[in-house]
Amino acid sequence: MSKKIQSALISVYYKDGLEPIVRLLHENGVNLYSTGGTQTFIEEMGIPVTAVESLTGYPSIFGGRVKTLHPAVFGGILYRRDHEGDIAQAAEYNIPALDMVVVDLYPFEETVASGASEEDIIEKIDIGGISLIRAAAKNFKDTLIVSTRNQYADVLALLTEKGCATDLEDRRTYAQQAFGTSSHYDTAINNYFLGTGEDIYNFRSLPSQTLRYGENPHQKATYYGDLDAMFDKLHGKELSYNNLVDVDACVGLIDEFTEAGPTFAIIKHTNACGIATAATAQQAYLNALACDPVSAFGGVVITNTKVDVATAEELNKLFMEILIAPGYEDGALEVLQSKKNRILLQRKPTALPGEMFKTILNGVLVQDKDLATETAAQMTTVTEKAPSEDELRALEFALKVCKHTKSNTIVLAKEDQLLASGTGQTSRVDALRQAIEKAKAFGFDLNGSVMASDAFFPFPDCVEIAKEAGITAVVQPGGSIRDKDSIDYCNANGVAMVTTGVRHFKH
């Protein structure tokens, strides 16, 4: 049922975007109630507002810890407008109805992230605000709750369209979002006291974006999170579900190369079909593209360096869905924007969660992200022949790519360039043969190249095939009861092998 808003309580920490809502409410004859800084903000707009203290008979006390916690306020929110007993009690105690509550919460998570003292952090645990949110959400039949500044634009549009009225479904939707806000806030506080990091699993309280569809057109999909905090979208169409999955894979891979020179990676269905590091951005891109120019068509490209005009001109020759870079030089964007649907993202520094989760069966699996990256210092030579310095650098490169490729996988590389990979195979031998075939198809000479495996070799067949293809050095976790068979073959055939003790399955 449609309900006209006649009174509203507004008490917020952040005032950005609030003014248009206040003006709209005033223009529609809504009585406004407020507290503290928000009351001053409204008064400075020249709009009449009633102080909450005039309802409660109490000033803000205990350093602002108690302002709205009073029956005159919560009664006005919670009393049922269709309940004779509630109506009579509201009249008896002179409690005005509050049809709308606009409140946001003290910035607890931001205060924790700032490194503030515990005293300051504790003071940012909101009591009145969270109580107002829950009360208004509970009584959604009568009260509209606006629980975060992220809703201001949508609320303004809704109230403008409906003349400051809402229907039951509107109020129910905002109530659901309010309980999500409350849950997320309490979880953040709980995590602080537990000493754990940011909670990403209460995702429905995060900003959301409805996607055109999911992995396939018959599947619905929504993204929960603040993409604007991570990327500036400079050009192109909206990101799809599959785009976002590939972007996530791109970010994970390129972050392995933060200390490297100019690096480009090309991703297709979350696997790298090309990646290379070179002296210039242009050469890095061309080397990455050379790995598999067929799979690169329609892929997602990411780099760790600013895109210059010369590189942009090369990139513009490829049909790609998305390009991600930390920056673009003058003139480069103009070249790349010539394709109207191509998505151009500029990445911004953003802290990412250290855990990942997957819904499975009737529950959820949670695990730490695979943040282990083995360098030459963590590689143990297990053969008589040790890898050369060039081979060690190539093995490091190959292992970084291997870690981000679907299992079972084998990665073939030389220093600073992927040559080929076998991805997502049920047999490691099949993965190796696939990689060798692809490398040869695109004209790569595998003599002197290196091989990385995400898991150990249960039999010597992989090193036998690798030797025949010209591979001279191998990195693998080790740990098979038959490691000796592979090591013996390498010793007999002049192949260097190192182990890391760390497996990198990726499913």
At 218-238, the pLDDT tens digits run 999 999 888 999 999 999 999
Q: What is the dihedral of CA 169, 173, 179, 182, to 10 degrees?
A: -130
pLDDT of 235 reads 96
Q: Is residue 5 a contact partner of residue 163, using CB atoms and an 8 Å limit?
A: no
Q: The dihedral of CA 91, 96, 99, 102: what is its sign?
A: negative
At 229-275, the pLDDT tens digits run 999 999 999 999 999 999 999 999 999 999 999 999 999 999 999 99
Q: Is residue 255 a contact partner of residue 399, using CB atoms and an 8 Å limit?
A: no
382 token code pair: 């297990």
Decide if pLDDT at 377 tops 90. yes
Query: 332: helix, coil or strand?
Result: helix
Q: Is residue 463 a contact partner of residue 474, using CB atoms and an 8 Å limit?
A: yes
Query: For the whole prediction, is pTM greater than 0.75?
Result: no
Q: What is the mean pLDDT of residues 319-345?
A: 96
Q: What is the mean pLDDT of residues 344-355?
A: 92
State the Cα–Cα distance between residues 4 and 163, nearest whole angstrom.
Answer: 8
Residue carrying structure tokens 């007999």:
492
Give me the chain's average pLDDT, please. Answer: 93
pLDDT of 481 reads 96
Distances, alpha carbon 65 to alpha carbons 69, 185, 444, 496, in Å: 9, 18, 69, 68
pLDDT band of residue 66 (cuts 50, 70, 90) is confident
CB atoms within 10 A of CB 349: 7
Q: What is the mean pLDDT of residues 99-107?
A: 93
pLDDT of 440 reads 96
State the Cα–Cα distance between residues 451 and 467, nearest whole angstrom.
Answer: 10
pLDDT band of residue 55 (cuts 50, 70, 90) is confident
AA identity, residue 99: D
Span between the terminal Cα atoms of the chain, in Å: 49
Percent of the chain with pLDDT over 90: 79
Q: Among 30-34, 49-53, 325-329, 405-409, which stretch is predicted with the lowest mean pLDDT?
A: 49-53
pLDDT of 213 reads 94
Q: Among 182-196, 280-294, 349-363, 489-503, which stretch is predicted with the lowest mean pLDDT?
A: 182-196
pLDDT of 198 reads 52
Decide if pLDDT at 196 tops 80. no
Mind telling me the catalytic residues? 138, 269
pLDDT of 199 reads 54
445 token code pair: 């000479």
Q: Which residues contact 465 (CB under 8 A, 6 or more apart)?
A: 429, 432, 433, 436
Cis peptide before 202 (omega within 30 of 0): no
Q: Is residue 285 a contact partner of residue 314, using CB atoms and an 8 Å limit?
A: yes
State the Cα–Cα distance between residues 38 and 40, nearest whole angstrom.
Answer: 5
Task: Look at strands 144-146 and 100-103 and give their pairing.
Answer: parallel
